[in-house]
Chains A and B, each alone.
Chain A
Amino acid sequence: GAGVSQSPSNKVTEKGKDVELRCDPISGHTALYWYRQRLGQGLEFLIYFQGNSAPDKSGLPSDRFSAERTGESVSTLTIQRTQQEDSAVYLCASSADYLSTDTQYFGPGTRLTVL
């Protein structure tokens, strides 16, 4: 079956512009996560959705970051007034809450470069 997909795969933007990153989870997965990976580092948790609600937004680094999820499927991560420090790979993952291991399966990521 299809895995997690993300678009765009690469995004280059100018400082101060807004960007939207999209994630399509695995069909039937109710849980969706966003992570950020800076160059040469591990993944940092940003936000978690269970269905359409976001019970854990603790990782969002500032109020310039927001995310929404509609219809228990697609999610969009929005970064407003981008800064150079926002340059990173943004990874989305999904998991099925009806399994005991809640393994998260990742998409290929969106590489964001802020000039």
Chain B
Amino acid sequence: AQKITQTQPGMFVQEKEAVTLDCTYDTSDQSYGLFWYKQPSSGEMIFLIYQGSYDEQNATEGRYSLNFQKARKSANLVISASQLGDSAMYFCAMREGRPNFGNEKLTFGTGTRLTIIP
């Protein structure tokens, strides 16, 4: 089974609208971390937001928020008021196990290509 599933290969969204990028995960660990990265056409991987499995509040970072539904094993990224510069690939990733405990490798999904339409 895939550990990280991103079911939307591509999305087109009108500028200034909100967008939700889906991510579901599969793990038997109680402790894990979920990450979202943005990869523009330049190729760099830019960290956006982190959610720990024991965090009770949904993570937020500026226009980014993570809709964490633990029972459903989903960690969707919400981008509010989208901008043209948000056009990029977006990857969801998971670290299984406790942080800084030798389990730090990330497992990535296949990504969603987001295109913002002016």
A residues sitting closer than 8 Å to B (CB atoms) are 31, 33, 35, 41-45, 48, 50, 55-56, 58-59, 89, 91, 93, 95, 97-109, 111
Contacts and interface: CB of A to CB of B under 8 A. Distances in A.
B51 to A, nearest CB: 9
A56 B105 contact: yes
Residue of B4, B91, B95, B104 most packed against chain A (CB within 10 A): B104
Contacts of A48: 104-105
B68 interface: no
Residue of A31, A43, A100 most packed against chain B (CB within 10 A): A43
Contacts of B99: 100-102
B24 to A, nearest CB: 14
Contacts of B42: 108
Interface residues of B, number: 26
B12 interface: no
Contact of B45 (A55, A91, A102): A91
Given A50-B102, A91-B45, A108-B43, A102 B95 contact: yes
A42 B102 contact: no
A56 B102 contact: yes
A42 B104 CA distance: 17
B105 A59 contact: yes
Contacts of A103: 35, 47, 50
A42 B35 contact: no
List the 9 closest A-B pairs by CB distance, nearest first: A106-B45, A42-B108, A102-B99, A45-B105, A43-B108, A97-B100, A42-B110, A101-B50, A108-B44
Contact of A43 (B47, B50, B104, B106): B106
A93 B16 CA distance: 32
B91 A43 contact: yes
Contacts of A108: 42-44
A106 B46 CA distance: 7
